[in-house]
Structure 1
Amino acid sequence: MNSDLSCNSVTDELQVLESVFCQSGEFTLHDLNAEAGSARYTITVSDSSNNEQSPNLGSTIAITFAPGPCYPKSLPDISLTSDLLTRKAADKMKTSLIEYANAYLCGEPMAMEIVEWIRLHFKEYANYENQQEMTPESQGLGTCVTSLLRLDHMRAKGRYIKTLTSWCEELGIMGRIIFVERLILILLEGHQARVKEFILRLKTQKVDVDSSGKACKEKMMSVLSDKPTDKHRFSSFEVSEMGSVQELRKYFDSLNLSQLYDEHLQPLCRHPLQGAIR
């Protein structure tokens, strides 16, 4: 691998990380060898969930990265430290993280994506008890949730939809992707951890193309709502094209999601922002 490319990847990424994790104690640079393209630094974050059953999960996890000369073609060395993780839980979490990163992240600077994965999955491993193998019941799948996401646009519509559909099939998530006027919505129903995994993939994997036709990640997705539910409204994940916001309103009424529409969609339907299928 070109050593200059490796050096640039590390130093450029460090600048971004220092600007993002700029609060006291969030980012610590231990060592940097610019000529070799290697470094060692620690990012300390809290988990991204508010779990009433685990109120102590405001605690932090420290992630130490040590990218080497072959980074980002190969993964950086990573170590995890938290008072809420037993050694076995930390090892289990690291193994799962490495599997994910090898499958989806190699080839591009990946520290932000790794931090996001850890924040979203921290609760599962912090709840790892009695050093037993994690089962579906102990993985922290959580309750069933209904989540509403909004996309700004799609350029490669067919490819995008195919990717989302395959993720839902793999994760056991049901719901709809809805196109109406200038709005693109994703309505999801599934176990909390699986929906979080879907959202993580949407943030970190290449699902669309940019204006030059190059594969790119989703940078303009927003989560409008994410709430527990005891209802099961869907048996599949499908595409729904609607002709008007009035039809959208009737659809949400039929699902007993009128409140969700009133709180999050009615303002958008009054003043839809620019952006749709291009």
Structure 2
Amino acid sequence: MAEPVQEELSALAAIFCGPDEWEVLSRSETDGTVFRILAKAEGFMDADISLQLVFHLPVNYPSCLPGVVVNSEHLTRAQCLTVKEKLLEQAESLLSEPMVHELVLWIQQNLRHVLKQTETGSGSEKCTSTVSTTADDGLWITLLHLDHMRAKTKYVKTVEKWASDLRLTGRLMFMGKLILILLQGDRNNIKHSPVRYASKDVKTL
């Protein structure tokens, strides 16, 4: 990992030092780093909106764009997708320099304006998303968002068996009502993993 990126990660950990504001989800010399930031931004009627931002920094970052997943209990799927698109548009203007903190600050200051551009449609479905990154050697990193889990113990054992059978590594994370599964491994094994098909309301972006 390049020194500027290491310095950026250290700075982010120091800035987002409140309870549950910062968590490194995965770190690899070949696949980069995945981490989560919890932030609040001003929405409509001056109400604070909690955002969960998951960033994937590939090994050649910041020469390439980071991967981004946006989740919020206060936003619809369409609004989450719009926030992600605007963050990536902003990131394009910051290529070749560490940008995560700038992106977080930007969305905190501009969320209200971003939401005004969103066509809400039915507006009832809360956002859920998956971020996948590919490499020439076939390795994938995929983040799945589960809608719910009825039998936790049984489901965890089943996921562990599926991951073992497919030679995947990963992590199952419970953060309040949010349930995430981070998987890493062979591209084809990820694509055909039963975990993806057993995950309700998961969409690949």
CA distance in 2, matches of 1:25, 1:101: 25
Correspondence 1:60 to 2:39 = no
Give, as a single letter, the amino acid of the residue that structure 1 aligns with 2:34: R
CA distance in 2, matches of 1:58, 1:24: 17
**1:82 maps to which residue?**
72
* Contact 2:37 2:53 (8 Å CA) reproduced: yes
Q: How many residues align?
A: 121
**1:38 maps to which residue?**
32
Alignment equivalent of 1:29, drawn from 18, 24, 39: 24
**1:18 maps to which residue?**
13
> Where do 5+ consecutive residues of structure 2 fail to align?
123-205
- What do the CA deviations read for 1:105-137 (whole angstroms, capped 9, x no partner)? 0001111101011111222344545339xxxxx
Give, as a single letter, the amino acid of the residue that structure 2 aligns with 1:114: L
The two structures have a TM-score, normalised by structure 2, of 0.53
Shift of 1:78: 0.4
Give, as a single letter, the amino acid of the residue that structure 1 aligns with 2:40: S
CA distance in 1, matches of 2:115, 2:74: 5
Alignment equivalent of 1:93, drawn from 75, 83, 87: 83
**1:219 maps to which residue?**
none
- What do the CA deviations read for 1:182-223 (whole angstroms, capped 9, x no partner)? xxxxxxxxxxxxxxxxxxxxxxxxxxxxxxxxxxxxxxxxxx
CA distance in 1, matches of 2:103, 2:18: 19
**2:99 maps to which residue?**
110
CA distance in 2, matches of 1:42, 1:126: 22
Alpha carbons of structure 1 residues 80 and 108: separation in structure 2 relative to 1, 3 Å: same
Give, as a single letter, the amino acid of the residue that structure 2 aligns with 1:7: A
CA distance in 2, matches of 1:39, 1:77: 10
SS for the counterpart of 1:123 is helix
Alignment equivalent of 1:9, drawn from 4, 8, 17: 4
**2:196 maps to which residue?**
none
SS for the counterpart of 1:54 is helix
Alignment of 1:120-199 (within 5 A): 120-126=109-115, 128=118, 130-131=120-121
**1:155 maps to which residue?**
none
* Contact 1:10 1:38 (8 Å CA) reproduced: no
Give, as a single letter, the amino acid of the residue that structure 1 aligns with 2:50: T
> Where do 5+ consecutive residues of structure 1 fail to align?
1-5, 133-278
- What do the CA deviations read for 1:12-71 (whole angstroms, capped 9, x no partner)? 2111101111111111111112x3371010111111x4x7x625x323101100000110
* Contact 1:10 1:39 (8 Å CA) reproduced: no
* Contact 1:65 1:78 (8 Å CA) reproduced: yes
Alpha carbons of structure 1 residues 125 and 85: separation in structure 2 relative to 1, 3 Å: farther
* Contact 1:85 1:126 (8 Å CA) reproduced: no
- What do the CA deviations read for 1:222-255 (whole angstroms, capped 9, x no partner)? xxxxxxxxxxxxxxxxxxxxxxxxxxxxxxxxxx
**1:71 maps to which residue?**
61
CA distance in 2, matches of 1:111, 1:44: 13
* Contact 2:62 2:95 (8 Å CA) reproduced: yes
Give, as a single letter, the amino acid of the residue that structure 1 aligns with 2:108: R
Shift of 1:7: 3.1
